[in-house]
């Protein structure tokens, strides 16, 4: 879609799996866009080597768990050369936000996208400004962009997270594991952040 809607743009299409990449290659060829695409079987940002010294303006890392996305960013961030990032991690979003701070990036926008009954958080990140602070615990857990914009699409995500946190806290309390559990305390703090965000959204 990016190529169809932007006739002057080119794309590097990459995957660590050759069979998965071949599916993308077949689709792009079927759409008549092969002359505007470069393909690479590579691990993470190593794929940027296929550009032969050119630097991308935007890098998409999508459809993986947060631990995998974070590893890709931490291992290969020197290859970005200031490129904007579009990230779509399916799990462990706080880890992704923390990794962005570690590599010198900050989130400029977050949005909720829904597909087939599932909600996904998409992030746009760019290099941090001089002396731009790292994120607070609340921002890492919930998202600085979402806390700032408070989109109505975020409501079911927060409601689901509240249910999961409440269940987790109750289960730990019932098992007697809450006294010395740092996880229990973190769940309690996150629940307070979620409830505060829900209150702001529902006012």
The predicted model gives 78-85 an average pLDDT of 95
* C-alpha distances in Å from residue 161, one per residue of 61, 104, 157, 182: 24, 28, 6, 19
Spell out a b/e string for 145-156, using b for 16 or more CB atoms within 10 Å of the CB, else e: bbbeeeeeebee
pLDDT per position as a tens digit, 38-67: 999 999 999 999 988 889 999 999 989 999
Residue 179 has pLDDT above 80, yes or no: no
**Comparison of pLDDT for 180 and 190, the residue scoring more:** 190
Contact 182, 143 (CB under 8 A): no
Q: Identify which of 103, 107, 47 has the alpha carbon closest to the alpha carbon of residue 78.
A: 103
Q: What are the phi and psi torsion angles at 116 (to 5°)?
A: 55, 40
Is residue 84 a contact partner of residue 124, using CB atoms and an 8 Å limit?
yes
Render pLDDT for 104-159 as a digit per residue (tens, 0 to 9). Answer: 999 999 999 988 888 999 999 999 999 999 999 999 999 999 999 999 999 999 99
pLDDT of residue 112: 96
DSSP-H helix ranges across the chain: 2-5, 18-30, 66-76, 93-102, 137-142, 144-149, 155-175, 182-201
**For residue 18, how many C-alpha atoms fall within 13 Å in the half-sphere facing its CB?**
0
Domain ranges of the chain: 150-203
Res. 88 pLDDT band, cuts 50 70 90: very high
Span 4-43, pLDDT tens digits: 998 889 999 999 999 999 999 999 999 999 999 999 999 9
Rounded distance between C-alpha atoms, residue 2 and residue 115, angstroms: 18
Position 76 pLDDT exceeds 70: yes
Decide the pairing of beta strands 118-127 and 84-89: antiparallel
Q: What's the rounded Cα separation, in Å, for the pair 12 and 10?
A: 7
| Per-residue pLDDT at 176 | 77
CB 154 within 8 A of CB 201: yes
Q: Which two tokens stand for residue 69?
A: 């996305």
């Amino acid at each position: 879609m990016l190529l169809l809607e932007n006739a002057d743009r080119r794309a590097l299409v990459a995957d660590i799996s050759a069979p998965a990449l071949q599916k993308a290659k077949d689709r792009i060829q079927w759409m008549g866009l092969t002359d505007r695409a470069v393909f690479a079987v590579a691990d993470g940002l190593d794929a940027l080597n296929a550009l032969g010294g050119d630097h991308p303006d935007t890098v998409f890392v999508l459809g993986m768990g947060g631990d995998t996305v974070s590893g890709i960013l931490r291992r290969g961030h020197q290859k970005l050369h200031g490129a904007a990032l579009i990230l779509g991690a399916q799990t462990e979003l706080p880890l992704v936000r923390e990794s962005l701070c570690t590599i010198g990036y900050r989130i400029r926008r977050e949005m909720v996208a829904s597909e087939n009954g599932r909600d996904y958080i998409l992030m746009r990140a760019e290099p941090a400004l001089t002396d731009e602070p790292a994120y607070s615990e609340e921002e890492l857990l919930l998202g600085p962009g979402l806390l700032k914009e408070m989109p109505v699409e975020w409501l079911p995500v927060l409601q689901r997270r509240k249910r999961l946190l409440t269940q987790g806290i109750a289960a730990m309390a019932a098992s007697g594991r809450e006294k010395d559990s740092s996880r229990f305390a973190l769940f309690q703090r996150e629940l307070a952040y979620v409830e505060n965000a829900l209150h702001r959204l529902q006012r």
